[in-house]
Amino acid sequence: MDLLIFLIALSVLVLVHELGHYFFAVRSGVKVEEFGLGLPPRIISRKIGQTVFSLNWLPIGGFCKLYGEEEEGKGKKAFNNKTPWQKFWVVIGGVLMNLLLAGIIFSGVYLIIGGPKETNRVKILAVVPNSPAAVAGLQEGDWIKAINNEIIEKPAELIDLTEKIKGKKAELIIEREGMEKKVDVEVRVQPPEGEGAMGVAISNIEMQKIRWYEFYRGIGYGFEEAYYWGKIIVGGVVRVVSDLFHGETPKDMAGPIGMYEATSIIKRNQGILAVIHFFGVVSVNLAVVNILPFPALDGGRIIFVLYEMITKRKPNKELEIAINSIGMWLLLLLIFVVTVGDIKRLVLKQ
């Protein structure tokens, strides 16, 4: 079941991306020779108008084959005979559609679970296993009202106070199911990276139900989150590129196997709504990666379009095809290396 959900979700992301290329191609008068979901060989195909729509055996990926993109086409319907601006919108169409899809996914999730609202209370969102907080009996959902008799209203206040008492025990007043209780928690001097001094994740943000007539708030929250994840992913891509230039193997990359594993874990621990949200993040990731100025990616193709805009001359078609072919092989090699890393990591877990 998890595998089916993963394949369907990934297929939707790819389908939407290719629909972006298809939509702008049709709008620009470019002939679409084939629109395929999955990679060949074909399972089934049907020609509608001038376009062959196909379903293919390999369930990862998809394509939108344009007349005159990979070869010199003749006439008004050839991609190579369109203006640079028309080419630009056709090429970037997939990226725009993935960003739009991410915004729609996040908006839908917010409309269901509510929008974030800042409060004057600090809530425990998660407790790290075997941490001082776990040993003391703190639980997800507890409200921290005070530490050493000092009232806590913001996460920053709790962090500042724990910094001052590292190596000692702190007396917390927490609220759980309407009842207050005192809990003594050790404050570590050198906690493991990412765990915090006590081993809790905290926030003063609550999710507030969005009324049906305030749907615009959910849409606003959704597109704000798409922007937020865009910034996070851009930063991650910069780190990966930096690692590659320094001859280091990127540590935070995952291939199809890693994505499937993440999907399965999220579904098991958080439910299907969290899986939908996760694929919103993946959609942003797909947009960011595709806009990179690397051969075979949309960003690499845009470089050739910009060259034509600036020089008023078409790039050498054979050179463009050769560069994109090399880029595609390098991408396939990178996917292979990342997939091997995913497999090794899973084996070591056993």
Task: Classify residue 220: in a domain, yes or no.
Answer: no
| CATH value at residue 160 | 2.30.42.10
- Res 104: pLDDT: 96
Last residue of a domain, one of 185, 208, 231: 208
User: Among all chains, which residue has been given the structure tokens 């739009």?
Assistant: 100
CB 328 within 8 A of CB 296: yes
* Local structure of 5: helix, strand or coil: helix
Last residue of a domain, one of 208, 241, 264: 208
Q: Give tens-digit pLDDT for 57-88.
A: 887 678 999 998 888 888 899 999 999 999 99
Residues 180 and 99 in one domain: no
Helix ranges (H only) for the chain are: 2-27, 84-113, 132-136, 155-164, 215-245, 256-270, 272-290, 298-311, 317-349
Residues 101 and 131 in one domain: no
Task: Classify residue 121: in a domain, yes or no.
Answer: yes
- Res 327: pLDDT: 87
- Res 249: pLDDT: 59
- Res 62: pLDDT: 83
Task: Kindly report the pTM of this predicted structure.
Answer: 0.79
Residues 121 and 202 in one domain: yes
128 sits in the region (left: phi over 0; alpha: psi -120 to 50; else beta) called beta
Residues 8 and 101 in one domain: yes
Task: Classify residue 140: in a domain, yes or no.
Answer: yes
Per annotation, catalytic residue among 18, 69, 186, 320 = 18
Residues 256 and 173 in one domain: no
- Res 350: pLDDT: 59
Residues 139 and 46 in one domain: no
Task: Classify residue 223: in a domain, yes or no.
Answer: no
| Identity of the amino acid at 333 | L
- Res 75: pLDDT: 87
Task: Classify residue 242: in a domain, yes or no.
Answer: no
- Res 194: pLDDT: 73
Q: How far is CA 51 from CA 29, 31, 35, 36, in A?
A: 13, 8, 7, 10
Residues 125 and 204 in one domain: yes
Residues 80 and 135 in one domain: no
The residues of the chain scoring below 50 in pLDDT are none
Residues 194 and 279 in one domain: no
Task: Classify residue 214: in a domain, yes or no.
Answer: no
Task: Classify residue 306: in a domain, yes or no.
Answer: yes
The domain of 50 spans 2-112+250-349
CB neighbours of residue 237 within 10 Å: 17
Residues 104 and 126 in one domain: no
- Res 223: pLDDT: 94
Is 18 annotated in the active site? yes
Task: Classify residue 225: in a domain, yes or no.
Answer: no
- Res 300: pLDDT: 93
Number of domains in the chain: 2
- Res 301: pLDDT: 92
In degrees, rounded to 5, the angle at the alpha carbon of residue 212 between the alpha carbons of residues 207 and 216 is 75
Last residue of a domain, one of 178, 208, 238: 208
Residues 33 and 181 in one domain: no
End-to-end CA distance of the chain: 22
Residues 339 and 312 in one domain: yes
